[in-house]
Amino acid sequence: MTPRPSGSQASPTAFVDNDRTPIGYGRMLRKEDPRFVRGKGQFVDDIQRPGMLHLAILRSPLAHARIRSVDITAAQAHPKVKLVVTGEMLAERGLAWMPTLSSDVQAVLATDKVRFQGQEVAFVVAEDRYAARDALELIDVSYDPLPAVVSVRTALASSAPVIRDDLAGKADNHCFDWETGDARATAAAFARADVVVAQEMVYPRVHPAPLETCGAVAEYDPVDGALTLWSTTQAPHAHRTLYAIVAGLPEHKIRVISPDIGGGFGNKVPIYPGYLCAIVGSMLTGRPVKWTEDRSENLTSTAFARDYVMHGEIAANRDGRILAIRTTVLADHGAFNGVAAPTRYPAGFFGVFTGSYDIEAAYCSMTAVYTNKAPGGIAYSCSFRITEAVYLVERLVDCLAIELGMDPVELRLKNLLRPEQFPYATRTGWVYDSGNYEETLREALRLADYDELRREQAARRTRGELMGIGISFFTEAVGAGPRRHMDILGLAMADGAELRVHPTGTAVLRVSCQTQGQGHETTFAQIVAEEIGIAPADIKVVHGDTDQTPFGLGTYGSRSTPVSGAAAALVARKVRDKARLIAAAMLEVSVADLEWTKGAFQVVGDPAQAVSMAEIARHAHGAGVLPDGVEGGLEAQICYSPDNLTNPYGAYICVVDVDPGTAVVTVRRFIAVDDCGTRINPMIIEGQVHRGLTDGVGMALMEMIAFDEVGNCLGASLMDYLLPSALEVPDWETGFTVTPSPYHPIGAKGIGESATVGSPAAVVNAVVDALRPYGLRHVDMPVTPSRLWEAMNGDPRPPI
Amino acid sequence: MQITMMVNGEQVSRDVEGRLLLVHFLRDHLGLTGTHWGCDTSNCGACAVWLDGEPVKSCTVLAAMAGGHEVRTIEGLEQFGELDPIQRAFMHCHGLQCGFCTPGMLMTTRALLDSNPNPTEEEIREAISGQVCRCTGYATIVRSVQWASAEQAGRRTVTDDTSP
């Protein structure tokens, strides 16, 4: 076996100018940045159209209420108001309801009832933003309040009011049941285990809160019957198809443009009522209409993530050999089931809750319920529900370590999958592609100097100081997905790509996915450069416009590099294959006599006889003779469906200090070693990891969308929903190993969400480790000072 | 009401509502969309601009209050066709991803370097603690400010190191 690269990316002490532009993989400055550092990005709210009007949405102040009447007379009389629309008016056009990504329906504007605080009730289109807001105040809605279902734990009680009485025959708040694994085999393993540890844990409702809120500019051309929609979407093609279905517009006359997007993190995957309101507003006024939600609207009405109450059990032998894991989950799906996950996976990929371990059996049973809260259940910077799964298993393993009196590293090393077991079929039906887990964990231990940390901890404990060291080892499952079992609303999760090489040897790559900061314009140019030897600077990446790009399912769940990245590599190889035929004719040799040297085809062993890709392109477009059967031009297209997901993984170590007097947790160090297979641009990879680690600290210590007993959202502004600032996070210490994926043409795996998946458990494990002197085994997120203080004083209450 | 102010070195005059926020004045009335809006509550800092050389959050300043004053936005950071060192630094150190917080971050950190040319990591973190970035995790922003600080002082080392 050849030695495999690994290394660390500690923050540089000297600043280096290493901006060589690689032909292919390597550090390269981003092609996106020159416009962003000048303030020349173009985000949706930056779009100005001639005659554009502004739309504002009236939202429900109540979590659950019957609508008695909506009086819009005064609003219509406002001199700057052009249009006021209610749910009843949409119903007359058959547009009051729309499908969600999970085949449920969601009200565009409420007609019968409001079902969560912040739900859309009416909208106003006016001459400017301020006038539209003013007019909302003039709409008089009369509500009959109903009792709200807030607690997921009592949503199925017979006394609970039925939220979804719009669904025929619905007599309770049950949303769905789901199970995976082998209940009987798991029970048998538990029966003969030496040790069983059970722990309930809550993964609270959190919100992706991208810095740019959601919005749209709709421009309907009544002459052509064509709609152009600039919108904050991570999936422009899927959205276009849905608009065609919902609004009844022909798909070829809808153009969805997703310009620069100010962060997505899953929040911009679903279709929100606001987008449809903007479309309707433009169709009815005949003018362009802009809708930009404010921060409260973003936090209270757009898609949340997590909200799982998990009861986990882990069974092991006394020597630390893990036998089985079992869990029951109560899932809060809010008022409408808006989960964004492949159709056959109502719980996303939660089935990977067996983690990175070689166990005998596993079983999960889940019940999902409706509550009077905003819909969602999207992946917040994680592949569908894997954050929840990893948190469950990594907390359970630490609980077991405490029970056994074993070091959590030793326990993990005893149970991690071994390299020879890959591709590995899990007990819940997943195939992990590749891994050398122990190597990655040992790299993290080395970077952290784990033994020294433990010595320091022991010394501090004797002085009454609370220092904790938390370990997390995670396996992601990204790149949805194989078309034989993954689709969203019947659309296969495959991605197109198209590559054209121009006569002068520059190229344009068109991809279906959509960057929200991940740097696709750079990374995808590098992928193509590696394959066809044209410098990335000479390759333009076009994305985010359905008129300009081939069909594909978009960017979320870390699927861009695994799916669209593979498509980009393969379409480039198609171009190279054609170029080889042309090169053979140009050099008057047979194809077999040619070898590819990145950038040129040359006669084997004779560098003097070579033609570059630029020369081939000129010939392909030129007037000369081409080989028999070869068309002119140098371009190709592809639609790629992966054979399997890819499985990036990593080992994380978090070091915290807890103030015994205030229960404030400080993250002192965080060491993250990630393996995402082949590394295309290490600078961008490191940035993706940093982002996820910050998410993890935020979720573990600060973030929660909480509700009071009547369903008022208590996290409705950034004063109430706390996001980490530069003061709450340390300088990240990152490292890497490289284990290519056998299922990906260039061996790459996703990286966008690994750190969000892996880090929350490391932080909580560190906090619990710090509090061993208090005898604590678990504390739920968010570990705020007040909640931790209660736990330290013997009252560790769950947050919901 | 009629307001007049200097924006990026040019005098502008407009008739606006008294309640108009400076951020909307810049974006909607002057077309300077580099200044972003992100929260309503002065928490996120995406809207930071300079008012008489000091960073302010333009979502909490009325356009009328800026009347008679000097405003500088991200569009005015580049001078004579040359990027400011802090702009180059953010590109070199990957101090941005989606680019939405970037204009506010650049205005704030440029102001920091003007008052403190050689800030410590702690001082940098403190200076940007009123700005939210959801993408970078802040470490690369800290490095960017250090890079710009070194660049200005001629301390930057040019090597062919391969670290990312």
Peptide bond into A26 cis (omega under 30): no
The range of the structural domain enclosing residue B67 comes to: 2-76
| pLDDT higher than threshold 80 for residue A226 | yes
With CA atoms as reference, the chain A residue closest to B78 would be A38
A50 touches chain B (CB under 8 A): no
| pLDDT higher than threshold 70 for residue B64 | yes
A668 touches chain B (CB under 8 A): no
Q: Report the CATH number that the domain containing residue B30 is assigned in CATH.
A: 3.10.20.30
- Whole-angstrom CA distances from A674 to A320, A478, A509 are 25, 14, 29
Q: What is the pLDDT of residue A16?
A: 39
- Given B54, B76, B98, which residue is the final one in a domain? B76
B163 contacts A9? CB cut-off 8 A: yes
CB atoms within 10 A of CB A51: 11
Q: Which residues pair with A635 in a beta bridge?
A: A500
A17 touches chain B (CB under 8 A): yes
B132 contacts A723? CB cut-off 8 A: yes
Tell me the C-alpha distance between A320 and A316, whole Å: 6
A79 touches chain B (CB under 8 A): no
Tell me the C-alpha distance between A156 and A370, whole Å: 9
Helices A386-404 and A408-415 pack at an angle, to 10 degrees, of 110
B73 contacts A726? CB cut-off 8 A: no
Nearest to A727 among B33, B101, B129 (CB): B129
Q: What is the mean pLDDT of residues A179-192?
A: 98
Q: Are residues B16 and B64 in the same domain?
A: yes
Q: Are residues B94 and B143 in the same domain?
A: yes
| pLDDT higher than threshold 90 for residue A527 | yes
Q: How many CB pairs under 8 A join A and B?
A: 213
Q: Are residues B98 and B117 in the same domain?
A: yes
Per the prediction, chain A carries an average pLDDT of 95
Q: What is the pLDDT of residue B85?
A: 96
Any long-range contacts for A218-222 (C-beta under 8 Å, 24+ apart)? A218/A275, A218/A278, A218/A279, A218/A281, A218/A282, A218/A283, A218/A288, A218/A289, A218/A291, A219/A49, A219/A282, A219/A288, A219/A289, A220/A279, A220/A282, A220/A283, A220/A286, A222/A283, A222/A286
Q: What is the pLDDT of residue A634?
A: 98
Q: What is the mean pLDDT of residues A705-726?
A: 98
- Tell me if B17 is assigned to some domain: yes
pLDDT in tens, A389-420: 999 999 999 999 999 999 999 999 999 999 99
Q: What is the pLDDT of residue A5?
A: 58
Nearest to B137 among A27, A43, A690 (CB): A690
B74 contacts A39? CB cut-off 8 A: yes
CB atoms within 10 A of CB B82: 9
- pLDDT top residue among B79 and A407: A407
B135 contacts A263? CB cut-off 8 A: yes
- Tell me if B129 is assigned to some domain: yes
A213 contacts B38? CB cut-off 8 A: yes
Contact list in B for residue A13 (CB cut-off 8 A) is none
Q: Are residues B116 and B146 in the same domain?
A: yes
| pLDDT higher than threshold 50 for residue A477 | yes
Q: From the candidates A6, A15, A669, A690, which should be mutated to test the interface with B, based on the most B CB atoms within 10 A?
A: A15
Q: What is the pLDDT of residue A2?
A: 40
Q: Which residues contact A414 (CB under 8 A, 6 or more apart)?
A: A319, A320, A321, A322
SS3 A755: helix
Question: What band does A6 get if pLDDT is binned at 50, 70 and 90?
Answer: low
Q: Are residues B90 and B127 in the same domain?
A: yes
- Tell me if B144 is assigned to some domain: yes
| pLDDT higher than threshold 50 for residue B164 | no
Phi, psi of A451 (to 5 degrees): -60, -40
pLDDT in tens, A611-650: 999 999 999 999 988 999 999 999 999 999 999 999 999 9
Q: What is the mean pLDDT of residues A338-348?
A: 93
- Given B20, B55, B76, which residue is the final one in a domain? B76
Peptide bond into B103 cis (omega under 30): no
- Whole-angstrom CA distances from A567 to A106, A628, A634, A744 are 34, 28, 17, 10
Q: Are residues B102 and B49 in the same domain?
A: no
Q: What is the pLDDT of residue A22?
A: 77
pLDDT in tens, A718-739: 999 999 999 999 999 999 999 9
B133 contacts A519? CB cut-off 8 A: no
Phi-psi region of B59 (alpha: psi -120 to 50; beta: other; left: phi over 0): alpha
CB atoms within 10 A of CB B29: 15
- Tell me if B164 is assigned to some domain: no
Q: What is the pLDDT of residue A248?
A: 86
Tell me the C-alpha distance between B53 and B107, whole Å: 10
Q: Are residues B56 and B7 in the same domain?
A: yes
pLDDT in tens, A593-604: 999 998 999 999
Q: Which residues contact A687 (CB under 8 A, 6 or more apart)?
A: A519, B94, B97, B135, B136, B137, B140
Question: What band does A337 get if pLDDT is binned at 50, 70 and 90?
Answer: very high
CB atoms within 10 A of CB B123: 14
| pLDDT higher than threshold 60 for residue A13 | no
Q: What is the pLDDT of residue A382?
A: 81
Question: What band does A378 get if pLDDT is binned at 50, 70 and 90?
Answer: confident
Contact list in A for residue B63 (CB cut-off 8 A) is none
Q: What is the mean pLDDT of residues A503-510?
A: 97
pLDDT in tens, A547-572: 999 999 999 999 999 999 999 999 99
B159 contacts A17? CB cut-off 8 A: yes
Contact list in A for residue B161 (CB cut-off 8 A) is 12, 14, 16, 18
Give the ipTM of the model, two decimals please.
0.97
Helix (H) and strand (E) counts in chain A = 18, 34
| pLDDT higher than threshold 90 for residue B47 | yes
Contact A634, A500 (CB under 8 A): yes
SS3 B102: helix
Percent of chain A with pLDDT over 70: 97
Q: What is the mean pLDDT of residues A439-466?
A: 98
How far apart, in Å, do the first and last CA atoms of chain B sit? 52
A128 contacts B28? CB cut-off 8 A: yes
SS3 A468: strand
pLDDT in tens, A289-329: 999 999 999 999 999 999 999 999 999 999 999 999 999 99
pLDDT in tens, A209-225: 999 999 999 999 999 99
Nearest to A211 among B32, B46, B139 (CB): B46
A723 touches chain B (CB under 8 A): yes
pTM: 0.96
Contact list in B for residue A265 (CB cut-off 8 A) is 134
- Given B76, B101, B127, which residue is the final one in a domain? B76
Q: Are residues B107 and B153 in the same domain?
A: yes
Tell me the C-alpha distance between A702 and A694, whole Å: 11
Q: Are residues B46 and B72 in the same domain?
A: yes
Q: Are residues B27 and B67 in the same domain?
A: yes
With CA atoms as reference, the chain A residue closest to B149 would be A15
Q: What is the pLDDT of residue A21?
A: 65
B106 contacts A37? CB cut-off 8 A: yes
Q: What is the pLDDT of residue A380?
A: 82
| pLDDT higher than threshold 90 for residue A15 | no
| pLDDT higher than threshold 70 for residue A14 | no
Question: What band does A11 get if pLDDT is binned at 50, 70 and 90?
Answer: very low
Q: Report the CATH number that the domain containing residue B103 is assigned in CATH.
A: 1.10.150.120
- Whole-angstrom CA distances from A397 to A199, A262, A405, A442, B41 are 11, 37, 12, 18, 41
For chain B, what is the domain count? 2
Contact list in B for residue A130 (CB cut-off 8 A) is 17, 19-20
State the nearest Cα–Cα gap between B154 and chain A, in angstroms.
11
CB atoms within 10 A of CB A88: 15
Nearest to B97 among A34, A517, A717 (CB): A517
Q: Are residues B99 and B56 in the same domain?
A: no
Q: Are residues B72 and B92 in the same domain?
A: no
pLDDT in tens, B84-100: 999 999 999 999 999 99
pLDDT in tens, B3-30: 999 999 999 999 999 999 999 999 999 9
Q: What is the pLDDT of residue A3?
A: 42
Question: What band does A145 get if pLDDT is binned at 50, 70 and 90?
Answer: very high
Contact list in B for residue A137 (CB cut-off 8 A) is none
